[in-house]
Amino acid sequence: MSLLELKEIMTAQERYRAEKPGALPDDLYLRRWTSPALNTAPDIWIAGNLPLPDIQKLSENYATDSSGVSLQSRQDNYIYVRARNNASEPRRRRVAQLYAAELDLIMWPHSWKEIYTDTGSNISPFATVAPQAVAVATETFVFPYVMPATSGYTLIAQINDLSNQLNPKPQQSTPLDMAAFNADPLWASTNTCLIPAQGYVVKMDTRLTTASTPKAGGTYLITLDVKGCVGTEVELKGSTADSKGKPIQFRNQVTADGRFFGSSYYLEPGFNAYISLYIYTDDMKKVEQAELTFTSSYQASGNDIQRAVEMGLIAGDISLDAFHSGYIEEAKPFIALRSLKLCAGGK
């Protein structure tokens, strides 16, 4: 960090601490409304169990109080943090962090659980924020399906800098001064109920990536081959939408063994997302032998081996006969790039 950036952080801290409690800092800030019956932060945006296709639209609907969406148990829930720059100069190197605490435990920081982004980070950076502009932290927070089921949670958002000097997390050994915390616009919290799920959910995870070479972009077929779980529902869900904003998701009932589900998506070079596979069932015995095979395939013009080699997906000296028999079905204009079998029973 440069001396200029350090001075910028210290100046913001000094101005903020010199102002009366509740005044806006010379920096990014969060909004909240707190009363005995209400604890709401419109800048903590719960999107539900699907990521938003265009998060920057949250900058445009800044006047909207809330998404009106609650957390759902046994589901990944996607959450965004936005902020406004109250400074007269651009602000850089700012990040958002998100925590969850069971209701009535917010005053004890040791009970806060960090919520990670869809890339596995505990911070979501802001791009440079212009004066008085509204911005959304660039990475999506994922409230995980494995969080303990309870009546509800308090989500806690924090504005900080990359060096953890602007607004460090409170000490975990002492309770919060709630009056000061509620008046601090570098923090915000919102209460949300947790909608219980019915039945059981089995979840498995994998990754969907494309090569970073320029020719790797294009239309991809994402498929799920389902065996051993008749009478259930299966779902595939990506942590982000595809490169054109189409949510990577499909959900289907399994009415016969060996069913095949899928959809096509446009992925730019260097695309990277987590893929979650779910089986929903009312009886765990139905999934004891379940196998889900996740496959990503690139749409090519016939047997476009040369392009696959240029994309770095296969070795240039691979046997043509072996490539045809092992990777390409002649009747389909797709080249299978990755196939991964996941077994619910752990076998």
Predicted pLDDT at 34: 52
pLDDT digits (tens, 9 = 90+) for 94-148: 999 999 998 878 889 998 999 999 888 999 999 999 999 999 999 999 997 666 6
For residue 322, what are the β-bridge partners?
none
CA 228 to chain CA mean position, Å? 30
Please name the fold of domain 3-195. Immunoglobulin-like (2.60.40)
- Gap between the Cα atoms of 61 and 67, Å rounded: 10
- Gap between the Cα atoms of 273 and 238, Å rounded: 6
- Using alpha carbons, list the distances in angstroms from residue 78 to 143, 152, 200, 262, 265: 6, 16, 21, 23, 20
Residue 342 has pLDDT above 60, yes or no: no
- Delimit the domains of the chain by residue range: 3-195, 200-343
Confidence tier at 235 by pLDDT (50, 70, 90)? confident
Predicted pLDDT at 209: 84
């435990």: which residue's tokens? 105
pLDDT digits (tens, 9 = 90+) for 301-341: 545 555 555 555 544 443 333 333 233 333 333 444 445 55
């959304």: which residue's tokens? 136
- Check if the beta carbon of residue 85 is closer than 8 Å to that of residue 146: no
- Helical (H) or strand (E) element with 15: helix 3-18
pLDDT digits (tens, 9 = 90+) for 255-264: 888 888 888 8
Predicted pLDDT at 147: 66
Burial track 248-278 (b if 16+ CB lie within 10 A, e otherwise): bbeeeebeeeebebbbebebeeebebbbbbb
Kindly report whether the global pTM for this prediction surpasses the value 0.85: no
Cα–Cα nearest to 220, from 130, 313, 93, 100: 313
